[in-house]
Amino acid sequence: MIPLKSRDEISLMRASGRLLARCMREVLAHAKPGVSTLELDIIADEFLRSRGAVPSFKDYPGGDGCRPFPGSICTSLNSVVVHGVPDRSLLKSGDVLSIDMGAILDGWHSDMARTVVIGGSGSPDVERLLAVTREAFYAGMLKARPGNRLRDISRAVQEVLKGGSLGIVTQLVGHGIGTEMHEEPEVPNYVFRGPNPRLQAGMVLAIEPMSTLGRGRVVWKDESDWPVTTADGTMAAHYENTVAVLEDGPEILTSTGDDEEV
């Protein structure tokens, strides 16, 4: 069953999302050459905890034989698609860094991700990777309205990623979100088979295109650890927001609230 949120509950999720978006802005402002991903992790952790929130990725249980997630955010570099673990290695100019973070505020989750090039702009291919992945999010988000079906979101995301000649990561998906980080339904970035529920006001979805400059297949290089990388070693990107389906259309809850896009 897909949980529906009341207006009051969506207000609480909006507060969680707003705090998370401001945290993302703060972290991105520090993502520069010579800074370690562990430093970024500490900045996010302190930002959220000092404002009464909990970073939801910290200690997230791993699967079979995998340790709980050690960081407060995921920092995925270059060919790492998601679940990169923050460490002491220093960012270099030209690195492609995906930052994924989640917060729990007053019991309500929010989840978002951005990919940036460290130290400025990247190659034309990397700039296409980032721009098309962002565009795919917006195409999907615009379909998140009552009366449409889940697959309308997936199809819109897929069309933009394909149109931009990117590989689509199909082994990982977006998800419903609320009092749990991962709720029903799954939100694939491709036209999937199976149940295709009608969207209703009160649904909240983490829409999150994940794409690559190669074929899109991903691997877990170390079965007992978190990072997920592209099988062909190509660069990857991830763009995610928590989106509420409202009567009059979608609202991005992971927004700073001050008209500044993160």
Q: Which is nearer to Mg ion, 98 or 122 (CB)?
A: 98
Maximum distance among all Cα pairs of the chain, rounded to whole angstroms: 48
Helix 150-163 and helix 124-141, axial crossing angle in degrees, nearest 10 = 160
Provide the minimum distance between the beta carbon of 240 and Mg ion in the complex, in angstroms, as a whole number. 5
- How far, in Å, CA of 145 to CA of 153, rounded? 9
Provide the minimum distance between the beta carbon of 192 and Mg ion in the complex, in angstroms, as a whole number. 17
Q: Which is nearer to Mg ion, 122 or 133 (CB)?
A: 133
> Does residue number 111 form part of the binding site for Mg ion (CB under 5 A)?
yes
Helix (H, G, I), strand (E, B) or coil at 8: helix
Binding mask 202-221 for Mg ion (x = CB under 5 A): ----x---------------
> Does residue number 112 form part of the binding site for Mg ion (CB under 5 A)?
no
Q: Which is nearer to Mg ion, 122 or 245 (CB)?
A: 245
Provide the minimum distance between the beta carbon of 120 and Mg ion in the complex, in angstroms, as a whole number. 27
Between strands 249-252 and 241-246, the pairing is antiparallel
Per-position DSSP letters for 136-170, written without gaps between them: HHHHHHTT-STTSBHHHHHHHHHHHHHHTTPEE--
Q: Which is nearer to Mg ion, 206 or 228 (CB)?
A: 206
Q: Which stretch binds Mg ion (CB under 5 A): 27-35, 79-87, 111-119, 158-166?
A: 111-119
- Residue 94's DSSP bridge partners are none
Provide the minimum distance between the beta carbon of 73 and Mg ion in the complex, in angstroms, as a whole number. 12
Q: Which stretch binds Mg ion (CB under 5 A): 110-118, 121-129, 154-162, 210-218?
A: 110-118
Q: Which stretch binds Mg ion (CB under 5 A): 15-23, 40-48, 109-117, 183-191?
A: 109-117
Provide the minimum distance between the beta carbon of 76 and Mg ion in the complex, in angstroms, as a whole number. 13
Q: Which is nearer to Mg ion, 60 or 220 (CB)?
A: 60
Q: Which stretch binds Mg ion (CB under 5 A): 120-128, 148-156, 160-168, 201-209?
A: 201-209
- Residue 128's DSSP bridge partners are none
Alpha-carbon separation of residue 74 from 41, 46, 87, 157, 161 (angstroms)? 8, 15, 10, 23, 23
> Does residue number 183 form part of the binding site for Mg ion (CB under 5 A)?
no
Provide the minimum distance between the beta carbon of 112 and Mg ion in the complex, in angstroms, as a whole number. 8
What residues have CB less than 8 Å from 116, skipping those under 6 apart?
28, 31, 96, 97, 99, 130
- How far, in Å, CA of 262 to CA of 260, rounded? 6
Q: Which is nearer to Mg ion, 156 or 243 (CB)?
A: 243
Cis amide prior to 124 (ω within 30 degrees): no
H helices, E strands: number in the chain: 4, 15
Q: Which is nearer to Mg ion, 122 or 140 (CB)?
A: 140
Binding site for Mg ion (CB under 5 A): 111, 206
